[in-house]
Structure 1
Amino acid sequence: MKNDSTPLPPSGVRGSKIIRIGTRDSELALWQAHTVEKKLNDLGYKTKIIAVKSQGDILLDKPLYELGITGIFTKTLDIAMINGEIDIAVHSMKDVPTALPKGIVQAAVLERANSLDILVHKGNLDFLNGSGIIATGSLRRQAQWLNKYPNHNVVDLRGNVNTRMQKLNDSDWSGAVFAAAGLERINLKPENYINLDWMIPAPAQGAMVVVAMENDNFALDALTQLNDIETEIVTYIERQFLRTLEGGCTAPIGALVQYDEEEDTLHFQGALFSLDGKVKMEIDKIVPIEEWKKLGFNMAQEILGNGGAELMKTIKESLKK
C-alpha cells in the first residue's frame, strides 16, 4: 500500500494563507502539532500553532468514563474549529470519537508509530508473581490487566503523560500502564519498562490524525499530502470495529490490524472484556486485503453474536451506576 503522489499546488498559492493548527497544550500534544507543522512547512505552507486546554486536561478528579462526555479531549478544539478560531486540529487518533461533529472531517492520518502498551515499573517485577497495584485511567487496560493478573488491584490514573509519570514516581504503586508511542515521542520512556505485547491496544493507538472543516479546500489539499494510506486503512478497520461494538458507550475494547505486504493480507486482532476482566471475547483472523472495507464491522458482528451484545448491555448498565 503506497501513498499516491499528489501534485503540490503552486508555491504562490501555498504561501497565500496561514494554516492555524489547533492543539491541546500538553507536551505530547504540542510535539504532535509541531510535527504536523514541520511537514506542512516543508511543503511550503505557512502555519501558526494555537494551543488550548481541553476539559479532559482540566477535570482530573474523576475517571474518564464517569465524565460522560464523548470526545472529552477533542471537544474544545472541535468548537474552536467550528467557530473559525483554528483551521485544523491534531489529535492522538485513539482519543477521537468514531463519529466526528457535523462539518468536521478526517483530513490526514500520519504513519503509525509504536502501537504497544508498556508497563512502567519501579525496577522490581516480583509483584507480577504475587500482589500488586497497577495504575491506569483506561477501562481497556484495567480489564486486560485484571484478566491476566486477577489478584492485583487497579487504581485510576489521570493527567497528561508527564503528570501520570510524576504520580507514579510519588506513589507506592507497583507500576502504571502507558502507550509506548506517547512516551517515545517526548523522550520520556524510562529504563524500567516492559512491553505488554499480550495486551491488545486501543483502536488507532500510535497514530496521529489531523481534522479540518469539510468545506476548507485549502487545508484539505494541504493535509492530503501528509496522509499515510496504510495507516489510514488499518485504523479505519480498528475504529469501525470499535464503533460497531460500543454504540456510543465507553467499554474495554481493543483492536489491532497489521498489514502483511508480502502476502497482501490483513491480520485482525480484536477483543471485548468485562469491566472486571473475567470475561474475554477475542477474535483473531487473517484475511485478504480486498476485505478491508467491512472487516471491522464483520469482526464486531461476530463478537456481538457470540454473547458480546449481552456483555455490552451489562457494561452500559454498570457505568450508569
Structure 2
Amino acid sequence: MSRALRIGTRDSELALWQAQTVRDRLEAAGHRAELVPVKSTGDLVLDKPLYELGITGIFTKTLDVALLREDIDLAVHSMKDVPTALPEGICQAAVLERASARDVLVHKGLGFLDGPGTIATGSLRRKAQWLNRYPAHQVTGLRGNVNTRLKLLRENSWDGAIFAQAGLERIGLLPDNAEPLDWMLPAPAQGAMLVVARTSDTAAREAARPLHHEQSALEVAVEREFLRTLEGGCSAPIGARVHAADGQLHLEGGLFSLDGKKAFRVTRHTGSLEAGGTGDARFQDAGEFGAACAREILDSGGAVLMESIRKILAQ
C-alpha cells in the first residue's frame, strides 16, 4: 500500500517491543510503517488495583479511540488485556504466533514456600490461585510495567512476585531466579499478541493478514469464549489454557474465589478437528467448546460464586 501504516501502541518497553515486532514484519513484507505511542489510563493510574478503576479494557481503550478517530491504522495489544467483545467498527486483523502462556515466580529463594511468605501481584487471578495453593501466605498489590515491578520487587521485602513468562522473555528480562508456575492457570489469551484495525480499512487489514497464526488464533478464541461465558472481565479470577494437539483441542480452565478458598475447575477435550478447516465454522465450533466448558463450571456452583465476586468488586 502507498501510505505508511501508523501502528498505535502503549509506550512501555514491552508494548513497544510488540509493536516494533509487528512493524518489522510489515516492513519485511514491503509495507511502510511507523509507531505512534500513547498512554493508557492503566499506565497512568498506578496507585489503585485494576479492578478498582472500573474500566473494561483499561489498557486498550485509548488505542481504540485513536483507531476510530483515524489517528492510527493498526493497534497492537497483549491479547489478555483485550475485552472479549471488540468495539463496534474495530476488528481482529491478526493474532501472531503465541509465545509461552505460563506464569513465573521471580523469587529471592524458595525456602518460604514451606512457611510464611509474601507474594506481590496486581492480578486477582494470580492472587486467588496462589492463596488456593498457599493459604498461609500474604499477597500484596503490585502495579506498573514489567521494569517497574521488577524494581519494586528488589526494593521491598517480598519473597517473590508473579509475572507472565512471555513478557519477561520478550524484553530480555527473564532472570535465573524465575520459577515456572506450571500449576497456575494463565489468563485467557496470555502470551498472544493481537493486531486490530478499523473494520472499514480493507488495506490495513490485508497488510496485517500474513502475520496471522491460525492455531494460536483458534486456541485463544476458545479461551476467550470460556471467559466471556463466565462473564468475567479482564480482572476476574479466571484462568484458562487451550492447546491444539493430535487433532484435538485440550482445555483446562478454572474459576476461583477472591480469597482462594473455593475453586471450580474443568478439563476437557474436543473430538477430532476437521483437517484443513480454516473458515468461520471451525472457530464457531471451537468457541462453542469453550462456552460448554464454562457452562460446566457455572452449573456446578460457579454461577453463585461469579455473582458474589461481581458484588464484591462493585463495592
Q: TM-score scaled by structure 1?
A: 0.93
Match of residue 249 from structure 2: 266
Contact residue 118 and residue 196 of structure 1 kept, 8 A: yes
Match of residue 3 from structure 1: none
CA distance in 2, matches of 1:181, 1:215: 32
Matches within 5 A, 1:291-310: 291-310=285-304
By how many angstroms is 1:248 displaced?
4.8
Match of residue 156 from structure 2: 171
CA distance in 2, matches of 1:48, 1:199: 37
Match of residue 95 from structure 2: 109
Match of residue 74 from structure 2: 88
Match of residue 222 from structure 2: 237
CA change 1:53–1:43 in 2 (3 A) is same
CA distance in 2, matches of 1:248, 1:18: 35
Select which of 91, 113, 116 maps to 1:131: 116
Contact residue 125 and residue 235 of structure 2 kept, 8 A: no
State whether structure 2 residue 187 is matched by structure 1 residue 202: yes
CA change 1:131–1:181 in 2 (3 A) is same
CA change 1:84–1:30 in 2 (3 A) is same
By how many angstroms is 1:249 displaced?
7.5
Deviations 1:114-136 (A, max 9, x none): 110000001x2110000100000
- SS of the aligned residue for 1:177 comes to strand
Deviations 1:56-106 (A, max 9, x none): 000000000000000110011111111111001000000011111110011
Select which of 269, 278, 294 maps to 2:261: 278
The count of aligned residue pairs is 304
CA distance in 1, matches of 2:42, 2:152: 17
Contact residue 123 and residue 235 of structure 2 kept, 8 A: no
Select which of 167, 192, 195 maps to 1:182: 167
- Structure 2 unaligned residues grouped into runs of 5+: 274-284
- Structure 1 unaligned residues grouped into runs of 5+: 1-13
Matches within 5 A, 1:30-41: 30-41=16-27
CA change 1:253–1:194 in 2 (3 A) is same
Give the partner amino acid of 1:296.
G
Match of residue 276 from structure 2: none
Match of residue 33 from structure 2: 47
State whether structure 2 residue 308 is matched by structure 1 residue 314: yes
CA distance in 2, matches of 1:237, 1:273: 19
Contact residue 94 and residue 202 of structure 1 kept, 8 A: yes
By how many angstroms is 1:287 displaced?
1.5
By how many angstroms is 1:319 displaced?
1.0
CA distance in 1, matches of 2:268, 2:66: 41
Aligned CA-pair RMSD: 1.0
CA distance in 1, matches of 2:301, 2:207: 45
